Amino acid sequence: MHKYPSAQMHYHDYLQLDKILKAQQPESEKQNLPAHDEMLFIIIHQAYELWFKQLHYEVDSVAAIMNKPSLNDNSPELQTVVHRLNRCVTILRVLIHQIDIMETMTPMDFLDFRDMLRPASGFQSWQFKELEAKLGLKFEHRHGKEYYTSQLKTEHVDIIKNAESGKSLLDLINGWLERMPLSPALSDDKNSFWQIYRSSYNASLADAEKENLNAFDEIFFNNTQRTLHHTQLSSSASRAALFIMLYRGYPLLQLPFQLLNCLLEIDEQLSSWRYRHMNMVHRMIGTRIGTGGSTGKDYLKAAADKHYIFKEIAQLNSFLMERRKLPALPREMEERLGFVHK
Ligand code: HEM
C-alpha cells in the first residue's frame, strides 16, 4: 500500500475537511427529537454560504480592476472582468437549481424541526446582504429595512454598512462609462449625433409613448450629477451605455457590451432565485410568518420586486431603435471603433 509522506499535502488536510464535515450538528439530534431532513437543510444552507463566499471573491476582484482609472475599453483586463462576471452568472444558475434539492423536503418533514431553529432565518445571511450591497443595492432602496437592522448581529450590520458606504460595482461601472472616450460628445448642434438620435427616437414613438421623450431628455441630457438626482447612472454614463448597446457590432464595443449584458444577467438570475425561493417558501409554510418573524411570502415578494440592482441599465432598452434607423457614424469614428482600416 502506498504510504503517504507526512510532509506532502493531503486532500483531507488541504480542504480542511475535519472542520467542514464536523460543522453539521442538527438541533433535532441534540434535542433527541429525530428529524431526518434537518441534515439536508443544514447542508444546503452551508453550500449556499460557500458559493456566496466565492461570489464575493469574484466581485471583489472585478471591483479592484474596475477601480483602476487606466481601465479602458480595449484593456486586456476588461476581458478578465467579463470572464469573472460570467462565472458569477454560472454560480447563480447553480444556486437556483439547488432549490430543486431543497424541495425534495416536504412541508411535514420541515415541521419536524422548524420550531427548533426559530428565530434563525436565511434573512440573517449577512453574506447575501453584503453581496447585494457590493453590487449596488442601497440601504434606502431595501424593502423592510427594519428587519435588516433588527434581525442581524451588530457586527454583521457593520459589514453590510461598510459595503454600502464604499464604491459599489454599479458606482464603478458608472465611472468607467463616464470615462469612455468612444461615445460621441454631447452638443446642441442639431446635426450632432445625440440630437439626430433624439429626433429619430421621437419619430419612432407611438402616440401613447410620447412621454418617453421627457424621460429620454432627463436620463441622457439633464442628469449631470447623479447624486443630486438620486440615480445610479449619470447622463454621460447612460449615453455611453446606450451607445454601446446600439453599436455593439463594432469590435471595440463588443467587450463593453458583454460587460453590460453580464450585469443584466446577474440581476435576472438573482431575481429568478428570489422567485424560486419565494414559491418554495409558499409551498413549504403557506401564509405563515417566517422563522425570522417577517410576513414570509409577502416580504419576499416585495423584496423581489424592489431589489433589482441594475435596473437603470435594463431601462435603457426602452431607448433603443431598429438598426436600420440608427444614425450612420462618421468614418473617423468607425476607424476608432476598429471597423474600417485607414
Ligand atoms: C425550507 C426552506 C426555506 C424556507 C421555508 C425559507 C423561508 C424564508 C422566509 C420566510 C424568509 C423571510 C424572512 C423570515 O421571516 O424568515 C426567508 C428569507 C431568506 N432566505 Fe429562506 N427559506 C428556506 C430556504 C432557504 C435557503 C436554502 C436559502 C439559501 C441560503 C435561503 C436564503 C434566504 C435569504 C438570503 C433570505 C433573505 C432574502 C431577502 O432578505 O431578500 N432560504 N426565507
pLDDT digits (tens, 9 = 90+) for 263-296: 999 999 999 999 999 999 999 998 888 877 788 8
Q: What's the CA-to-centroid distance between 209 and ligand 1, angstroms? A: 39
Q: What's the CA-to-centroid distance between 286 and ligand 1, angstroms? A: 13
Residue 342 has pLDDT above 80, yes or no: no
Residue 71 has pLDDT above 90, yes or no: no
Q: What's the CA-to-centroid distance between 274 and ligand 1, angstroms? A: 9
Kindly list the protein residues whose Cβ atom lies closer than 6 A to any atom of ligand 1.
44-45, 48, 102, 110, 121-123, 125, 128, 277, 281, 284-285, 290-294, 296, 299-300, 303
Q: From the alpha carbon of 125, which atom of ligand 1 is closest?
A: 35
Distance CA 43, CA 20 (A): 10
List pLDDT tens digits, range 85-133: 999 999 999 999 999 999 999 999 999 999 999 889 999 999 999 999 9
Give residue 273's pLDDT: 98
Mutate to test the pocket of ligand 1, among 46, 48, 52, 121 (most ligand atoms within 8 A of CB): 121
Give residue 223's pLDDT: 82
Cell numbers for 180: 469612455
Which residue lies with its CA nearest to atom 35 of ligand 1?
A: 122
List pLDDT tens digits, range 128-181: 999 999 999 999 999 988 777 888 999 999 999 999 999 999 999 999 999 988
Distance CA 143, CA 120 (A): 19
Residue linked to cell 457593520:
158
In this prediction the pTM is: 0.94
pLDDT band at 74 (very low <50, low <70, confident <90, very high): confident
Among 17-26, 248-257, 333-342, the range of highest mean pLDDT:
17-26
Distance CA 40, CA 48 (A): 12
Q: What's the CA-to-centroid distance between 297 and ligand 1, angstroms? A: 10
List pLDDT tens digits, range 195-252: 999 999 999 999 999 999 999 999 999 987 776 667 899 999 999 999 999 999 999 9
Percent of the chain having pLDDT more than 70? 96
Give residue 108's pLDDT: 96
Which residue lies with its CA nearest to atom 21 of ligand 1?
A: 122
* Mean pLDDT to the nearest integer, 30-58: 98
Average pLDDT, the chain: 92
Q: For the chain, first and last CA: distance in Å? A: 69
pLDDT band at 4 (very low <50, low <70, confident <90, very high): low
CB atoms within 10 A of CB 151: 18
Residue 69 has pLDDT above 90, yes or no: no
Mutate to test the pocket of ligand 1, among 95, 281, 294, 295 (most ligand atoms within 8 A of CB): 281
Give residue 177's pLDDT: 95
Cell numbers for 196: 439626430
